[in-house]
Amino acid sequence: MSIWLTAIILGIVEGLTEFLPVSSTGHLILATELLGYDAAKWAVFNIAIQPGAILAIVVLYWRTFRDIFTGLLRRDPVAFAFVRNLLLAFIPAVVLGLAFGDYIEALLENAVVVAWALIIGGVGILIVERFAKPKESGGVAALSTRQSIIVGLVQCIAMIPGVSRSGATIMGAMALGIDRKTAAEFSFFLALPTLTGATVLQLAKHHDAITKNDIGLIALGAFVSFVVAWAVIKAFLAVVTRYGFAPFAWYRIIVGVAALVWLAAR
């Protein structure tokens, strides 16, 4: 298979799954296994194309970021609360990511871990959907410091590939009584510092693995992931508002079981 087609496929997978509660990292790992790619060879590529998906959030919510920026200049309490909550939720990922980075990186090549994480995470989503009592929260800026810190701690579970960063943060928020829309948007906004930090850290660590010939492939993959993520995010809130997160939970369970069967049989 052409490496350019490979870049497009992985860009589509990244864009489709980065902001859905199904684990983009897990799907990228399974894609490399299913299609016979060299997982180690494409691991850095998978990280390098994440800025494309991140940019989709910036483009879709540019008015929100503009208002926050101008609000900070005006010393608006709402803008400061918004930034405070993101920072409080981001800090646990920084601490644990730096402390356990090598161990986490070793898990990135384990497709069995991904499959089990998909199944367990799917069951977890069904439990939260069944028992959580979310109510209107008033947006990200209205969340308490306690809620923000707990969501940040829950996000760290997603360092296990297959768990899903967005799934962990959204379900963690809903378990605290935060409504679906605010939980999803908090997950989107939290993705900016979290994914940017992880991408910069990993690219700095593995910069020797990227050659001039890879730049075009990375640009293509990032562009594809941006376009796909932009479309997915627009549809995501409408879907969860109407149907909740159960469809994603069942999808995770089916994919996880299928992956375990395939991995055992090959």
Helices marked H in the chain: 3-17, 24-34, 39-48, 50-60, 62-73, 77-107, 111-131, 145-155, 165-175, 180-205, 212-243, 246-265
Q: Please, are residues 184 and 47 in contact by the beta-carbon 8 Å criterion?
A: no
Q: Is the Cβ–Cβ distance between 23 and 161 less than 8 Å?
A: yes
Domain boundaries, position 147:
3-265
> Which range is least confidently modeled, 5-19, 24-38, 245-259?
24-38
pLDDT band with cut points at 50, 70 and 90 for residue 108? low
Tens of pLDDT, residue by residue over 137-162, are 889 999 999 999 999 999 999 888 88
Higher pLDDT, 61 or 107: 61
pLDDT attached to residue 224 = 96
Q: Is the pLDDT score of 202 beyond 80?
A: no
- Inter-axis angle of helices 165-175 and 145-155, to 10 degrees? 140
pLDDT-derived band at 29 (thresholds 50, 70, 90) equals: confident
> What is the model's pLDDT at position 211?
78
**112-129: average pLDDT:** 93
**Digit-coded pLDDT (tens) for 51-95:** 999 999 999 999 999 999 999 999 999 999 999 999 999 999 888
Domain count, the chain: 1
pTM for the structure as a whole: 0.85
CA-to-CA dists, residue 189 to 90, 193, 199, 220, angstroms: 10, 8, 16, 24
Residue position matching structure tokens 């994914």: 195
CB within 8 Å of 209: residues ≥ 6 apart: 44
Query: Which pLDDT does position 109 carry in this prediction?
Result: 64
Distance from CA of residue 37 to its chain's centroid?
22
